[in-house]
Chain A
Amino acid sequence: MLSFRWPDSLLLVTQAVVRQSELHQREKEEEMPPISRGFRGRRRDDAPSDRVPPGQYVTDDFPVLSAGPTPHTPLDDWDLTITGEVDGLRRWSWDEFRALPSEPVTVDIHCVTKWSKLDSEWEGVSLDTLLDGVDTTAEYVVAFCDGGYTTNLPLEDLTEGKAWIAFAFDGEPLEPEHGGPARLLVPHLYFWKSAKWVRGLRLAATDEPGFWEQNGYHNYGDPWKEQRYWGD
């Protein structure tokens, strides 16, 4: 099937920022919603505030969120590639990938839907390892995944210990519903950037907004600046 990219001008026309002024007016007119007596929700209120970005709530759960069905790529068919503006395609089979040096990673993760999970424990291969020796002038990356999901980041947000391809969570192989066999892990950005079921990174000279960045979510996504949506 031909891949068809809508020209940017048509994109602006077909994406409707719907009745923004009407919604805004209505929000101002509405009072604070009534408090539901005794409702707490399932979140912690004992987390150190310097670890909780603005607008986030801490949970001990690990909610499963997905824009599509869980892929189930057999490991024999799985590979990870680095492609695009590089001197040569890099490719690892599953066995080759697992033979690379990996490290335990304990990080806080922040989902744009407002939950944060502190001290989550992963194991993964650092992007520094995967990009070692890669010769490129590219400044941007698009992560692409089984199922068609994409997300974009500046290349410099993947390097110097900031990102991994993670294959284990909480001491166990990463479950399919959480992105297994492997996902991108970029904890300093909102977690929609930590693309599940990652199959590769395409290095590019220009920035290409991914699946959610094309439709309202912030192009960069720094939780500490609360960059959730366009224009934040």
Chain B
Amino acid sequence: MDALMLDGNAAAGLLQEIFGSEMTTAVGTCDGCGTAGEVGAVLLYRGAGLAFRCPHCGNVLMKIVVGGERVWVDFRGLRALELNT
């Protein structure tokens, strides 16, 4: 437990700006432990950028860096992302 951490839901606004749709209900599968869960339920840490971590194994699922007009997203910790349409 870390008093600083939030839920993925706290980044809902940023995620919607980047991806153009509601992302907190998308289901991600962790590439580390294989657990699946809603993006809104993952652990969110705010460092220089955002780090989304698996609540089961702590693996970094996604990193997001916002640099003015540019955004970088690293998905390597997500084996799959299932989006609702």
Give, as a whole number of angstroms, the nearest-CB distance from A225 to chain B.
15
User: Is A20 part of the contact surface with B, judged by Cβ < 8 Å?
Assistant: yes
Beyond the given A66-B4, A68-B45, A69-B45, could you list 6 further A-B residue pairs with CB under 8 A, ordered by the A residue number? A14-B76, A24-B69, A66-B2, A215-B49, A215-B65, A217-B49
Interface residues of B (CB under 8 A from A): 1-2, 4-5, 18-19, 32, 45-49, 51, 53, 58, 60, 63, 65, 67-76
Set of chain B residues within 8 Å of A216, measured between Cβ atoms: 49, 65, 67, 70-72
Asked if B74 and A15 sit within 8 Å, CB to CB, the answer is yes
Q: Give A23 to B70 CA distance when docked, in angstroms.
A: 7
Asked if B2 and A217 sit within 8 Å, CB to CB, the answer is no
Asked if A217 and B4 sit within 8 Å, CB to CB, the answer is no
Asked if A68 and B58 sit within 8 Å, CB to CB, the answer is yes
Asked if B70 and A67 sit within 8 Å, CB to CB, the answer is no
Question: Which of B32, B70, B73 is most buried by chain A, counting CB atoms within 10 A of its CB?
Answer: B70
Set of chain B residues within 8 Å of A211, measured between Cβ atoms: 63
Set of chain A residues within 8 Å of B4, measured between Cβ atoms: 64, 66, 70, 177
User: Is A184 part of the contact surface with B, judged by Cβ < 8 Å?
Assistant: no
Asked if B67 and A16 sit within 8 Å, CB to CB, the answer is no
Asked if B46 and A65 sit within 8 Å, CB to CB, the answer is yes
Q: Give A206 to B72 CA distance when docked, in angstroms.
A: 24
Give, as a whole number of angstroms, the nearest-CB distance from A67 to chain B.
4
Asked if A66 and B47 sit within 8 Å, CB to CB, the answer is yes
Set of chain B residues within 8 Å of A70, measured between Cβ atoms: 2, 4
Q: What bracket does the count of chain A residues touching chain B fall in? A: 20 to 34
Question: Which of A112, A190, A212, A230 is most buried by chain B, counting CB atoms within 10 A of its CB?
Answer: A212
Asked if B46 and A69 sit within 8 Å, CB to CB, the answer is no
Give, as a whole number of angstroms, the nearest-CB distance from A1 to chain B.
8
Interface residues of A (CB under 8 A from B): 1, 6, 14-18, 20, 23-24, 27, 64-70, 111-113, 148, 177, 190, 192, 211-212, 214-217, 228-230
Q: Give A98 to B73 CA distance when docked, in angstroms.
A: 40
A21's nearest neighbour on chain B, judged by CB, is B69
Asked if A69 and B49 sit within 8 Å, CB to CB, the answer is no
Set of chain A residues within 8 Å of B49, measured between Cβ atoms: 67, 212, 215-217
Q: Give A187 to B72 CA distance when docked, in angstroms.
A: 25
Known: A69-B2, A113-B48. A228 touches B71 (CB 8 A): no
Give, as a whole number of angstroms, the nearest-CB distance from A124 to chain B.
21
29 A-B residue pairs with CB within 8 Å:
A1-B32, A14-B75, A15-B73, A16-B73, A18-B18, A18-B72, A18-B73, A23-B69, A24-B69, A65-B47, A66-B46, A66-B47, A67-B48, A67-B49, A69-B2, A70-B4, A111-B48, A177-B4, A212-B47, A212-B48, A212-B63, A215-B63, A215-B74, A216-B65, A216-B70, A216-B72, A228-B67, A229-B70, A229-B72
A65's nearest neighbour on chain B, judged by CB, is B47
Set of chain B residues within 8 Å of A15, measured between Cβ atoms: 72-74
